[in-house]
Amino acid sequence: MSINPLVSIKDLKIEVRVTRAKRLSIVDSASFEIESGKIIGLIGESGSGKTMLCRSLVGTLDRRGAYIAAGQLIFDGIDLIAAKQSVWNEIRGKRIGYVPQSALAGPNPVMTIGAQLAEAILQDENFPKSDVEKRSLELLNIVQIRRPETVLKQYQHELSGGMKQRVMIACAIAQQPELIVADEPTTGLDVTVQAEIMELLKQIRKDFNTSIILVSHDLPLINEICDDIVVMHAGTTVEKIPSKLIKTSKHPYTIALYNSRIDLVEPKGQLKTINGQPPSVGNWPAGCRFSERCDFVKDKCRVKQDLPLIEIGSNHQTSCLRYDEIAR
Amino acid sequence: MPYLMKSQALRILIGRLGRALSVSFWVMVISFAIMRIIPGDPASARLGAGAEMEAIEELRKTLNLNGSIFSQFTNYVMGLLQGDLGTSLQTGRTVIDIVSSTLPLTLYLIIFSTFFALLLSIPISTSIAWYAKAPIVYVFRSVTAVILATPNFFIAMIGILIFTVRVNWAPVFGYDPQFPQNLKYLWLPILVNTLIMTSVISRVLFSSVTETKEEEFVETGIIRGVGRRRFFWFYILKPSMAPTVVLLSYMMGTMLGATVILETIFSLPGIGRELVNAVLTSDYPMVQGILLIFGVITVFLSFTGDVIAYLLDRRVKI
């Protein structure tokens, strides 16, 4: 653990209001840190709480009727849980950029691309209005959009999926934020476009020393560009591991995720899948939440208990009880 | 408007204009056909059973019912091009003359109530949809549903009961066609109509905003840190307005005929009443002329509504 990380999340617990009295835990005990200039991959199946964790970083949980119930969430010394609107105004769009889920989103349909870039650029109140267009073109060049002059005048429906996502990245980096939150930025895009977007994010990190938190359910895809991988399962962070060491993972879930990739180079016949379904929110098993699906499960895994992340190597933490017995 | 210069937008608008013109043409054909496809002879229907042959023949000539259907149509179109919509059989005045003295009242009624309905609906719908507090949404839905389910003449009668009978703020009848003075006679019907339109429009706008606010780009806007005013316009209202605008333009058209009830209750000399009178007295040139004008206005309104919707939101297919 570094001494002064950019973002520090500790035992974060996110709940959602179902009815007036009923509360449902979506995330509990999520813990990890993001260091300056690092790309962190947040991996997990649908419903593991990774999207909600992202939303807590940008303060839009309440839009989904969710809130932070406990834990710590600190961005560069600022307590984001207690942050007031005025604090968020200084952070959003300035110090934290956001790239939305590609499949659903994209730029605002009723504004030209140019208008949206201008909006992002003018978040800096002192920016001279006369330079907005120049800066817009510069940003579009950074995200490698061809014919940027034309794109400025276009609307989102005139752009391809990959271009929309490039525009969103351009908006996100307008103020050179310290952190970019990218929530499944390439889901639903062509494989080649996915690779290009990943390459672009990598380039941005290199050029601006931006930390990026990259949410995905595609481990092989993001393992290429991330420094560290944080694996989430059923509302908990189960492992944090440097991406180089992914093959030596000490958590059966990570191993299973990694093994279920489709290997295009050497087709080996049978595709490996993970047993069963992810436990649904509210029906998490006591003890290890992966126990129902795990190949290595023992009785001690099923006992009701807290499973904190255990430091087992440099930058490598796992919550598996049997980590020292697991070998591939 | 720089975006009008863009060839794609321009092409779409010209295409839509072409459609409006072709619909106008068919409106004209239908209004021409009305007198000729009704069962029986319009002239003898008008003059009654005991009419003399000469009188009927004379009227047929005035009504342009002699000669081949093609030459009748040519005469009709030539007349329209010269601004001649025919002459009322009942009063002997030209149709144009009658329309231009009664249409403004109806237009005042429609335009004012549309304006106020929009003015009310926008803040009501957006705030209720945005904050989505269950009890308030429930009240909003119930109140608008009750207003929608109540016939407009009933709401008008309640209005008269309160404002004319109880407190005497509105005159019982009479009209002054001069502009600000006419509002003295029109404010109560405008109020009643506004109430009804508001409940329709605010419901549509409410559901659009409810849909819009869930969209991912709204969240992106919040996280980008967009200021309140910009956010309200570009992220809530503008993306939600298109269905409302289209509905409004359609409602304004249909209301031309529907205001007849309000005009009758408030004893206002509007065009709706004129149309009903013309139908009752078999005044065919009047019916034909008024229908043509209603048709053209409706086509024009829906064209304008579609164009505005398209300019607001390019996703709209027009």
Residue of A nearest to B131 (CA): A63
* Confidence category of residue B6, pLDDT binned at 50, 70, 90: low
Higher-scoring residue by pLDDT: A246, B78: B78
* Confidence category of residue B306, pLDDT binned at 50, 70, 90: very high
Rounded to two decimals, the pTM is 0.87
- Over residues B278-287, mean pLDDT: 89
Min mean pLDDT across A7-16, B7-16, B233-242 is at B7-16
> ipTM score here?
0.86
* Confidence category of residue B170, pLDDT binned at 50, 70, 90: confident
Residues of A in contact with B236 (CB under 8 A): none
Q: What is the pLDDT of residue B252?
A: 93
* Confidence category of residue A19, pLDDT binned at 50, 70, 90: confident
Flag whether residue B239 sits within 8 Å of chain A, measured between CB atoms. Answer: yes
Shortest Cα–Cα distance, B234 to chain A (Å): 7
Q: Rounded CA gap, A279 and A43, in Å?
A: 16
Q: What is the pLDDT of residue A1?
A: 47
Task: Out of B221, B225, B312, name the one closest to residue A108 (CB).
Answer: B221
Q: Rounded CA gap, A270 and A273, in Å?
A: 9
- Hey, are the CB atoms on B220 and A153 less than 8 Å from each other? no
pLDDT of residue A165 exceeding 70: yes
Query: Would you say domain A7-107+159-325 falls under CATH 1.10.10.10?
Result: no
CB–CB of A35/A6 below 8 Å? yes
Flag whether residue B294 sits within 8 Å of chain A, measured between CB atoms. Answer: no
* Confidence category of residue B193, pLDDT binned at 50, 70, 90: very high
Q: Rounded CA gap, A66 and A23, in Å?
A: 9
Q: Rounded CA gap, A13 and A49, in Å?
A: 10
DSSP tally for chain A: helices H, then strands E:
10, 12
Q: What is the pLDDT of residue B194?
A: 96
Task: Out of A92, A105, A112, name the one closest to residue B224 (CB).
Answer: A92
Min mean pLDDT across A52-61, A192-201, B39-48 is at B39-48
Token pair of B218 as six digits: 């709204």
Token pair of B180 as six digits: 């600000």
pLDDT of residue B42 exceeding 90: no
- Hey, are the CB atoms on B215 and A105 less than 8 Å from each other? yes
Residues of A in contact with B215 (CB under 8 A): 104-105
- Over residues A295-311, mean pLDDT: 82
- Over residues A101-112, mean pLDDT: 81
Phi and psi at A92, nearest 5°, equal -60, 135
- Over residues A78-90, mean pLDDT: 91
pLDDT in tens, B99-129: 999 999 999 999 999 999 999 999 999 999 9
Shortest Cα–Cα distance, B252 to chain A (Å): 25
Shortest Cα–Cα distance, B68 to chain A (Å): 53
Q: What is the pLDDT of residue B4?
A: 46
- Hey, are the CB atoms on B223 and A109 less than 8 Å from each other? no
CB–CB of B101/B268 below 8 Å? no
Most confident of A188-202, B24-38, B195-209: B195-209
Phi and psi at A250, nearest 5°, equal -115, 25
pLDDT of residue B1 exceeding 60: no
The ranges assigned to domains in chain A are 7-107+159-325
Taking CB atoms within 8 Å and a gap of at least 24, the contacts of B87-95 are B87/B62, B87/B285, B88/B278, B88/B283, B88/B285, B88/B286, B89/B46, B89/B59, B89/B281, B89/B282, B89/B283, B89/B284, B89/B285, B89/B286, B90/B277, B90/B278, B90/B281, B90/B283, B90/B286, B95/B285, B95/B286, B95/B288, B95/B289, B95/B290
Burial status of residue B52 (CB atoms within 10 A of its CB: 0-12, 13-18, 19 or more): exposed
Flag whether residue B210 sits within 8 Å of chain A, measured between CB atoms. Answer: no
Q: What is the pLDDT of residue B308?
A: 95
Pairing of strands A228-233, A236-242: antiparallel
Q: What is the pLDDT of residue A268?
A: 64
Q: What is the pLDDT of residue B51?
A: 81
